[in-house]
A and B are shown apart, each in its own frame.
Chain A
Amino acid sequence: MPLLTIDTSVALPAALAAGSHPRKLWVVLAYGALTYQAEHLQLDRELLAETAANEGGEVHADPAFDELVETAEYRRTALGELLPYETPDNYVAVGFTALFDEFERKVQDVGRKIDPSVRPEDAAKFRRQFEAICAVGPPPFDPADAPALTRDPEDDPIVYGALLAGCDILVSDDRHIVPGGIGREYEHGEHRLRAMTFGEFVHGCFEPIDFPWSQVEGSWLREAFRQPRA
């Protein structure tokens, strides 16, 4: 199960342009998130039960868990019917506060340059789309604790969060994270990941498995959010 962090330089075109190449990656990650939820939400339920056994307290898990799993399975099936047969379902996106905060801020900043009518509530909606394609995250951390890892202090919490999460890959076209467009390793303590451009990710991770990712339609992301029939 490769864990990915998608930084703002890739997430912005994915969010703002349904026909963009990064949006296709978001669709694949939504598929991975739904698969993860369907197969691993049980771990959350077990953690609640374990916490109650150790610390006491009252678990409120039913029917919420069953509904979440059923909904994830429904959406996964709906999306899977559209996706190419070879579509990987094991790529899982990582999300955390510093990443989502930067994304929301950049949506407003960059979005307004493209369309002056972009409002703060639009940025909040884009943020929710990003949050919803992420399934896991690192333990909460203070961005101020991020060590200097890149040439831009604003990017350090992103790389640090990805490292704390145990990510395998950080997909970024940011010149401060992937200088010269050449992939590189980052490490902190016992954590290590590879930062690579979107192009390198596609070439290195999708093409070897003959996944025809260019056939994915960005609009299919809606299937990942479809409400189950009553």
Chain B
Amino acid sequence: MRSIASRPQLLTVAQAASLLNVSEKTIRRWVDDEKVPHIRLPSKQIRIPLTALLASLQGNYDLAEELAELDARFSGVTEDAIQAAMGDSGDS
């Protein structure tokens, strides 16, 4: 049996925006720019496939550049320091 998550799913614009914590306007812009596959239903509502949405992230942002910048800024951070900080927060 296919697990639930590996069955393809369609999201509304609101659900897609909530998943990525971006505005619905951002999702609609990606749709209008054909940057993410989608279907426009007869009701004019839009549905976006989940896996394609996540895969599209790497085209809508320069994730490699963002990662390089973050890794450089946090290059001195160790796993122990994070564990200690999480312990202070009661998270580990």
Collect the chain B residues with CB atoms within 8 Å of residue A81's CB: none
A48 x B9 contact (CB < 8 A): no
B57 x A110 contact (CB < 8 A): no
Within 8 A of A (CB), among B27-75: 31, 34-42, 47, 49-52, 54-59, 61-64, 66-71, 73-75
Q: Knowing A47-B8, A95-B54, A165-B3, say if A20 contacts B41 (CB, 8 Å).
A: no
**A114 at interface (Cβ–Cβ under 8 A)?**
yes
Collect the chain B residues with CB atoms within 8 Å of residue A52's CB: 39
**B23 at interface (Cβ–Cβ under 8 A)?**
no
**Interface flags, A121-152, vs B, CB<8A=1, else 0:** 01011111101101111111000000000000
Residue of A nearest to B2 (CB): A166
Q: Knowing A16-B74, A136-B50, say if A110 contacts B89 (CB, 8 Å).
A: yes
**Interface flags, A26-53, vs B, CB<8A=1, else 0:** 0000000100110011011111100110
B9 x A139 contact (CB < 8 A): yes
- Closest chain-A Cβ to B36's Cβ sits at a distance in Å of 6
A221 x B67 contact (CB < 8 A): yes
Q: Knowing A47-B8, A138-B5, A222-B67, say if A71 contacts B54 (CB, 8 Å).
A: no
Contact of B37 among A65, A71, A94 (CB under 8 A): A65
Contact of A68 among B52, B74, B79 (CB under 8 A): B52
Would you list the 6 A-B pairs with minimal beta carbon distance, nearest first? A166-B3, A44-B49, A165-B5, A225-B63, A225-B64, A166-B4
Q: Which residues on B are within 8 Å of A, measured CB to CB?
A: 3-6, 8-11, 15, 18-21, 31, 34-42, 47, 49-52, 54-59, 61-64, 66-71, 73-75, 77-79, 81-83, 85-86, 88-89, 91-92
Q: A9-B91, A15-B70 are in contact. List 15 more A-B contacts (CB 8 A).
A: A12-B86, A17-B78, A33-B54, A41-B51, A48-B10, A65-B52, A92-B5, A100-B19, A114-B85, A115-B77, A136-B51, A137-B19, A222-B64, A225-B67, A226-B64
